Structure 1
Amino acid sequence: MTRRPQRILSDEDRVLWNLVARTAVPLKGRAAPKMDLEGPVEIAPAPSVAAPALAAAQQPDKKPSPPRHLDRPTLDKLAKGRLPIEARVDLHGMTQDEAYSLLFSFLHRAHASGLRYVLVITGKGSSSGGDGVLRRSVPGWLATPAFRMFVSSHEHAARHHGGSGALYVRLRKVR
């Protein structure tokens, strides 16, 4: 039998694995595996991400416009399933730092893959009546310059896609 070559995990893969590993409970009689990354993890943008950001900063007249709300016909098509949601990410139970890193890497990969419509699930928040931290924060993050290069517009999702606890995000076309 031949062995497959060992795959080296990227920083993004390692962050995602550690998020999953933190929620896992070991079987009886087994010790919990050690995680190789402890504490908050930040992913440095890849050189391909930094170059367009730097170019956009040097050309103030060619800066992407801030994200708008989705137009009504597009929103209706997404809600009724006539436009496909090509990918989704679930930020439930994450801290703001973890959610920000995961959202940035997810949107970067989706944009690079040429996807147009994705679903970001933030959750509705705590049961004590207050809005969730991620539910309030994510729309603000999407309006920041870091996300403007990927995000064209966003809007709360239809009820069956998560309602106010999820966002439809339209990504910019790849140039």
Structure 2
Amino acid sequence: MARKPPLSRKDIKLWQKVAKTVEPLEGRSAELKALIETIDTQSLMDPGNQPDATHPVQRRASDAELNALKEAGIRGKATSKSKTTLPLAGIDRKEKKRIVRGQMAIDARLDLHGMTQREAHTALFGFLKSAHQQNRKHVLVITGKGSRGERETYAIGQEKGVLRRVVPKWLSEPDVRSIIVGFEEAHPSLGGAGALHIRLRRRNKIR
């Protein structure tokens, strides 16, 4: 069986770069570290050639070594950090009617008037996370002028136009989609085009 060709310097650099971007499964750190060091230093050396002091000759990792890497629980950081993007839906029509008729309350609301985009972004995420932790169900976010009077008010002062355009984009980000069912323009009695009605997911639905 023919010997596998030695690794080029480009291949070696690529291996070293990839090795730095992987992480072990829980409890396999020591095993993985030792294995990578072995492949990176000694196991890649071609036993059939004398290494040059400046440019050592190296070979490809064997199938057994590659399988051992898999057994050690190698996962790319990008893959391990990826999240499932949950779909968004509108507000349930029956619940929306009950809210408009006063039969169901808006649990909390946030007024973004007067904030910069950075301030509004921070306030929005904090508000939604807090509401989700408290198992709130329906919340209102004011991006323009909105009526007051809901059960709980999170007023933080005024900016319109820009926030009205960017807030829906923020609500579509993966981190937010994991805690909200959906959102839509609020009923006129709740602020209309200047507000967004958001339906939060129940905590026991997220694991």
TM-score normalised to structure 2 length:
0.50
C-alpha displacement of 1:83: 1.8
Deviations 1:107-138 (A, max 9, x none): 000000111111111106xxxxxx71111111
Q: 1:68 to 1:58 in 2, by over 3 A?
A: farther
SS of 1:152's equivalent in the other structure is strand
C-alpha displacement of 1:146: 1.8
* Match in the other structure for 1:141: 170
TM-score normalised to structure 1 length:
0.58
Distance of 2:135 and 2:94 partners within structure 1: 22
| 1:102 aligned onto 2:123 | yes
* Match in the other structure for 2:181: 152
Deviations 1:43-68 (A, max 9, x none): xxxxxxxxxxxxxx7486x7241322
Answer with 1 or 2: which has the greater Rg.
Answer: 2
C-alpha displacement of 1:172: 0.6
> One-letter code of the match for 1:99?
A
| 1:90 aligned onto 2:119 | no
Higher mean C-alpha deviation, range 100-109 or range 153-162: 153-162
8 Å CA contact 2:111–2:143 kept in 1: the answer is yes
Structure 2 alignment gaps of length 5 or more = 1-78, 146-159
C-alpha displacement of 1:163: 0.6
> One-letter code of the match for 2:121?
Y
| 1:112 aligned onto 2:112 | no
8 Å CA contact 1:66–1:143 kept in 2: the answer is no
| 1:122 aligned onto 2:143 | yes
8 Å CA contact 1:70–1:154 kept in 2: the answer is yes
Distance of 2:191 and 2:113 partners within structure 1: 12
Distance of 1:64 and 1:82 partners within structure 2: 33
* Match in the other structure for 1:46: none
Higher mean C-alpha deviation, range 74-83 or range 147-156: 74-83
Distance of 2:110 and 2:123 partners within structure 1: 8
SS of 2:203's equivalent in the other structure is coil
Runs of 4+ in structure 1 deviating by more than 6 angstroms, as ranges, are: none
Distance of 1:77 and 1:139 partners within structure 2: 24
* Identity value in percent: 46
Distance of 1:165 and 1:66 partners within structure 2: 24
